[in-house]
Chain A
Amino acid sequence: MSVTSEAPAAFRNAAARPGPLALIAEAWRDVASRRRLVRYLVQAEIKRRGANTFLGNLWWVLDPLLLMLVYVVLVAIIARRPIDDYPLFIFAAILPWKWFTSAVTDATSSIVSQHRLIKQIAFPKVVLPVAAVTAGVVGFGFGMVPLAGIMVLYLDRLSPLILLVPVIAMVQYVFTIGIALLVAAGNVFVRDLGNVMRHVLRLWFYLSPGLYSLSMLDEVSLFRENPVLIALASANPFAILFEAYRSVIYGTLDAGPVMPDWAALGALLAVSLVFVAVATVVFKRLEPTFAKVL
């Protein structure tokens, strides 16, 4: 153990509080030095999801397809004007959203569920929410299989722009890490957070242009009369993400795929990076008390 180890060979703990930049650097080192732990946790999570069901890993593919079916039926009943190729239209939003909700839900319980271990060995707790978000990436990747299946039905909408999906996903990853750090740490102190997040996420989805597009908001009188609301709706991170995914997978309502709004995506990335930095400082500040509170 003395020669090669990722754990520090010596430490000196005092009551002093390091500054924010030192905390960010420390968190970065924590994750970088424990990459393998993140990998194992992700593998375990994937195994767990496939293990207890009859169809096992097939659910990775079935889940988004069934969800899409539910929304197609729902919208077919209540919508007045049908959207062309609607299954593909919402599938472009369902895939990233499934990743986001599973990541946030898993991250919320990630620290609390390891309470026994946290009280027994010293390890960087940051790896737990990071692993939760990263495990979602795998599900997102599996989602490309049903996406390909649907794409076959709408070949006229297929374009090389679909290869930009990983770029958009990267922006989403950064944003999700920030949320994950906050909910993981928050849930240690307030256990109701899991219940709260379930409803916040549901509301968030309906407020984001997943089942509809931003441009359709103009048709609603409430939005037409209050431009502020439209501005707010467009500033929603998931408005930017959904519109970006949709523009490379589906395109616009009456034409094929186009380039995403790079300015909006770039702005979201910049804001997300700042957000992650702030979330990291909050997380690292709270981290030393986890073992006492759990």
Chain B
Amino acid sequence: MTEGPPPITDTEHAIAADGLGVRYTLRFSRKKSIQRTLGQWLARDPVEQFWALRDVTFRLVHGESLAVIGPNGAGKSTLLQVLAGIIRPSEGSVDVRGHVSGLLTLGAGFDVELTGRENILLAGAFLGLDDAVTRELSPGIVEYADLGQFIDAPLKTYSSGMRARLGFAIATSVDPDILLLDEVLATGDSTFRAKSKARVLELVRDSKAVVLVTHDMAWVKEYCNRALLLEHGRVVIEGTPDEVVETHRQHTEEEKKRKAAEAKAAGLAPEIAAARR
């Protein structure tokens, strides 16, 4: 790289984020047609931009488990995407040491014409696993997904629950150095959900570092030793799970009160006015 940020000095870290920022340019946002794009360009509309993340700096050393919490749209998932190498930062830098694995929304990238077994190989190739490793993991995945004869049938014959089971089995079969978890999985039947929660906990225990995005505060307090609160793309507070969860709770309540007050001002007033008439 030509002009990198200042070198990171500590040697222990698994993840180092320095002044991380991710900017979205809305000119090419969702599914626009030539007509709209050209129209905007000709009209010389100023390019709309927004920062999904800004000035995010933190270190995560091996052995730590970090919870990222915050309201919807705070940039939590964007942060995970940057840590997974899916999105490149628009400013600042991120340094990740070790194999990263995220638990995919189950079944993305599956091919419906291929059998379960063939999809395991395809998914392994997408994940960048060595072929020998995938073949070695395959029996375990087949056993865990528990699909019986269906493992050799094309995926189009699967129910959505079966597909989710296969996806989960593949996603959790690799044991990464750094585990990224977005919102704990609520798929499949209740038996499988219990089974999957146990497996996720196992992974959390075995990984050298974990970043967990969740709305479940019990999880944060129970399984994480650090937490980080994101609001509007910025880090509000970083510290022990207890204090961060407490700040989050306060902020959420303030927000609720503010919303209630707004609703009162806007919605309730006419009612009262009507009643008095």
B-contacting residues of A (Cβ < 8 Å)? 1-7, 9-16, 18-19, 34, 36-37, 40-41, 43-44, 47-48, 51, 114, 116-123, 189-192, 288-289, 291-293
Residue B93 contacts which of A9, A12, A117 (CB distance < 8 angstroms)? A12
Contact across chains for A122 and B86 when beta carbons are under 8 A apart: yes
5 closest Cβ pairs, A-B complex? A7-B128, A14-B93, A122-B85, A117-B109, A4-B130
Residues of B1-55 at the interface with A, using a CB-CB cut-off of 8 Å, are 1-5, 21, 24, 28-34, 37
Report the minimal beta-carbon distance from B131 to chain A, rounded to whole angstroms: 6
Main secondary structure on B side of the interface with A: loop
Known: A14-B4, A121-B109, A292-B24. 18 other contacts (CB 8 A): A1-B174, A2-B177, A4-B132, A7-B128, A11-B85, A11-B96, A13-B93, A14-B1, A15-B92, A37-B126, A44-B114, A116-B108, A117-B109, A122-B86, A192-B33, A192-B34, A291-B87, A292-B87
Q: How far is the CA of A40 from the CA of B5 in the complex (A)?
A: 39
B78-89 toward A: CB 8 Å interface, digit per residue (1/0)?
000110111111
Question: Is the C-beta of B164 less than 8 angstroms from some C-beta in chain A?
Answer: no
Closest B residue to A15 by CB, please name it. Answer: B91
Report the minimal beta-carbon distance from A3 to chain B, rounded to whole angstroms: 8
A contact residues around B177 at 8 Å (CB): 2
A contact residues around B93 at 8 Å (CB): 12-15
Contact across chains for A44 and B96 when beta carbons are under 8 A apart: no
Q: How far is the CA of A12 from the CA of B95 in the complex (A)?
A: 4
Question: Is the C-beta of B175 less than 8 angstroms from some C-beta in chain A?
Answer: yes
Report the minimal beta-carbon distance from A107 to chain B, rounded to whole angstroms: 17
Contact across chains for B82 and A116 when beta carbons are under 8 A apart: no
A-contacting residues of B (Cβ < 8 Å)? 1-5, 21, 24, 28-34, 37, 81-82, 84-99, 101-102, 104-105, 108-109, 111, 113-114, 118, 121-122, 125-133, 154, 174-177
Given contacts A5-B129, A13-B89, contact A44 B99 (CB under 8 A): no
B contact residues around A293 at 8 Å (CB): 28-30
A contact residues around B109 at 8 Å (CB): 114, 116-117, 120-121
Q: How far is the CA of A117 from the CA of B88 in the complex (A)?
A: 16
Q: How far is the CA of A199 from the CA of B5 in the complex (A)?
A: 48
Contact across chains for B99 and A2 when beta carbons are under 8 A apart: yes
Contact across chains for A14 and B87 when beta carbons are under 8 A apart: no
Contact across chains for B1 and A40 when beta carbons are under 8 A apart: no
Contact across chains for A7 and B99 when beta carbons are under 8 A apart: yes
B contact residues around A36 at 8 Å (CB): 125, 131
Residue B125 contacts which of A18, A37, A114 (CB distance < 8 angstroms)? A37
B contact residues around A189 at 8 Å (CB): 28, 37
Q: How far is the CA of A41 from the CA of B92 in the complex (A)?
A: 35
A contact residues around B133 at 8 Å (CB): 1, 3-5
